[in-house]
Structure 1
Amino acid sequence: MAPTPAPSLPSLLEATLVLSDQFISSLSLPTQPQSEPPTTTSTSSDSAPLPLPLLTTSANALKAQTTKLSLLAINSPFTPSAVTTVLTAVNESILPSLVTAALLTLPASYTTAFHAEAKLLVKDVLREFVGLVGVVKVIAREQNGKGKGEVKGEQKEMVLGATGRVWKACDELVTFAGEGVVGLVSRKARMYLELVRDGIRELQDWDPEEEEAGGDGDDGFFDDDDDEDEDEEDEDDDEKTKPTPEILHAEKSHMLRLLTPLAQIYPAIISQRLKKTSALTTSTPLCPSSVSQLDRLLPHLRELPNLLDEAAGSLYEHDLDNAVEYTIRLRKTAFMAAEVMRVPLSGGSSGAGAKEGEQGGKNGEEKVVEDKFPKWADTWKNVVEEIAKSKKEG
């Protein structure tokens, strides 16, 4: 039987674009509920690859092949057979491995947030690679398979720019895989903390008296005489319901007194729960209870800056009722985040019963490390509740 002829470069370039688009579409589909990790019939326990090392290996391999592709595209003579070799390796091995690795980060084993981030980052890699292949396709068409012409300077710049973007996307994917699930949650927690701090600074800078002095910017030049009486009545009503600068100052001060300790929930969870667990869980899946904890934790941490924005925004608009309502919700959300993490993540080095072999007791006995987070959380909650209560009593 005669061997199958190698595909032409134009057809392979088109196949690469179609394949990448199909992979992007598959990664955009919603994850099926109650998905289970794929099983293997192999007797070897190592036959099923872990997704995070596979992500790293595939991203590094694509980066290397991208380098080859870019050099082949911009240097003379243009060699279609060499480009074909690179694209064949990418299509048959690297791209399928990337997509498989992302899909293997199942929410049941790696949390919903990590699964979504893995698919998003792989899609970014694919899109950037499509951009590079598109430029190579134009060059190949102009060379018409002869490889004799000189690649234009503008095209060289386009190839180098597209290559740099592929490298960057691959590096981000490698970093993501290296930090693992707990590392991702820690990074997001730090990001949400910065948003809370920004909101606090903005609230600190807000001065109700300056706003009162500035007015609404309407000098009344275009007011009609017929509307004067109605306007005066509206102003009288506003004066009756509008909170005074003193009241706004008091509400602002109370909100800031609450926000200062509430923001401490982020560094406490990061240092006492996430940092002590991340080193042990960067590549292997977490146990189901820890996955459930992190899936419940992230929405609370993400919601806190949103609630702060709503509370402060209501205060800026002199809507005290909504400001109070959002402040209460903010407090309850922070409490829920602390409650979710009351028990340490399984497999971590924190928590009651955690052990330190190197700092053991006599005769090499392992030392039990006290879990300080529950006691801290109780004290922290009492402080916040006392601040909230002080306003009611005042």
Structure 2
Amino acid sequence: MPPKVKTVNFDRDLRALIDLTKTTQNLVTHFQSSLIPSANTASALDLTSIPNTLELTKASTTLLRSHTTTLSLLLLTPPLTPSALTKKIGEVSSGVLSNMVAAASNTPHPGQNDDLGQLMRAELRAQVRRLLGTWGEVLTLVLHAVERCGDVNGNGRGKDEGPTERFRQDVLAATGVVWEACDALLKICEEGVVGLVVKKAEEWRSVLLDAVEELKEWGEDVNEDEDEGRAEGSDGEDVGFGDEDEIFGAANKLGKGDKELKALLDTSVKKLKMVGMLYQALIKRRLKTFPITSSASKTTANGESRGVGPMTSLDQLMASLKYIPETVDDLASAFYDLDEREARKTLDKTCGEAKSAAELVKHSWSGQDDEFTTWSRKWVAMIEAS
């Protein structure tokens, strides 16, 4: 009689594990969808009780990493214990995941303090979505583990032979991917808004300078042979054509006679290098000095909120710094098409965006003149005179 009772309990636990795992898979899918930029998660989650978004994200991520480690050990240690797995998955689905998604979805209402800014909020959502995806793979492995002990209805099959070597490797690999995603999210929380904006600005500056170097090299690759081959051939069959590579390679090369376009290219390279200098100055004098504490909302006696200005300016600045390398791509395309008019127009747009960025934060975050204020004025004068 005791063995029969044990079997009944095991089958019951197995069915409970299957049900919870599948329910959690659906929950993970729902959470991932809710974190798509166009989605409005605020209406589905209670966000009023979040005191510190980054701290809540950090705490829930740390817990998820720990729970995943325990879960992987349960999967790898025979015999399979459905009740223990159910308890662990329940701890994750009932609190850890919802807290993490609530933090990533937290959007301040009008007049409410914004201590993250648009860039950090977008990064948190992207990283949490990635983490949810990795944890979904762990849930799939739980169902695979169930298959060796019973069927999809939770009916046990008998003795558990333990995990295969292939399954062990799959569990270890999936656990490692979750750890990596957790560590990446924890790093973002540790570095905070300043760390993220500095990192992004440096990446965009690198993209900008790479594009400048490519433009410079393209300008040096002058088509010296544009007039060759025009007298070749008989009966006019090959007049004006060289070999196949030359036919298609010469289309986007500067010719010796494109003096105006070459002069514009030289001017563009010079100005874009100056824009690269602006990035460097902004990173040092504005992004690294951004006062997180000053962006905190302060309420006056009549209920008005103060302190949202710096974060709004930071958001606008980062949007410009992201946009500039994109316009440089358009500029390069115009040059490759030998379209002088479009190249000139796009260069003006790029420089205009850079000047707007400098103007936006010409004063310090506290609204005072400083070294960057003086430097930015000189920089604007120099780029206009170039």
TM-score by length of 2: 0.78
Aligned to 1:366: none
- Aligned with 2:352 (options 317, 320, 332): 332
1:124-273 alignment, distance < 5 Å: 124-144=130-150, 148-207=160-219, 209-213=221-225, 244-273=257-286
1:301 correspondence with 2:321: yes
Is the CA contact (8 Å cut-off) linking 1:208 and 1:248 kept in structure 2? Answer: no
Aligned to 1:78: 80
State percent identity of aligned pairs. Answer: 29
Is the CA contact (8 Å cut-off) linking 1:208 and 1:245 kept in structure 2? Answer: no
For this pair of structures, how many residues does the alignment match?
344
> For residues 376 and 56 of structure 1, what CA distance do their matches in structure 2 show?
39
| Counterpart residue type for residue 334 of structure 2 | S
Is the CA contact (8 Å cut-off) linking 2:222 and 2:256 kept in structure 1? Answer: no
Aligned to 1:384: 383
Aligned to 2:243: none
Aligned to 2:153: none
1:56-71 alignment, distance < 5 Å: 56-71=58-73
Aligned to 1:372: 371
Deviation of 1:374 (Å): 1.0
Is the CA contact (8 Å cut-off) linking 2:37 and 2:122 kept in structure 1? Answer: no
Deviation of 1:151 (Å): 0.9
Deviation of 1:319 (Å): 1.1
1:276 correspondence with 2:289: yes
**Change in 2 beyond 3 A, CA 1:134/1:284:** farther
1:113 correspondence with 2:119: yes
Aligned to 1:290: 310
TM-score by length of 1: 0.77
Which segment is superposed worse, 180-189 or 59-68? Answer: 180-189
| Counterpart residue type for residue 266 of structure 2 | S
RMSD: 3.5
> For residues 112 and 17 of structure 1, what CA distance do their matches in structure 2 show?
29
List runs of 5+ in structure 2 lacking aligned partners.
1-11, 151-155, 241-250, 299-305
**Change in 2 beyond 3 A, CA 1:211/1:27:** same
| Counterpart residue type for residue 136 of structure 1 | V
Task: Render the CA deviation track for 1:283-312: whole Å, top value 9, x for unaligned.
Answer: 999931122102211221111111112222
Other structure's SS at 1:263 match: helix
Deviation of 1:13 (Å): 1.0
- Aligned with 2:99 (options 97, 100, 117): 97
> For residues 90 and 230 of structure 2, what CA distance do their matches in structure 1 show?
68
| Counterpart residue type for residue 189 of structure 1 | A
> For residues 147 and 277 of structure 1, what CA distance do their matches in structure 2 show?
62
- Aligned with 2:35 (options 18, 27, 30): 27
Is the CA contact (8 Å cut-off) linking 1:335 and 1:381 kept in structure 2? Answer: yes
Other structure's SS at 1:277 match: coil
- Aligned with 2:341 (options 321, 343, 359): 321
Is the CA contact (8 Å cut-off) linking 2:21 and 2:143 kept in structure 1? Answer: yes
Deviation of 1:224 (Å): 9.8
> For residues 262 and 209 of structure 2, what CA distance do their matches in structure 1 show?
19
Deviation of 1:282 (Å): 10
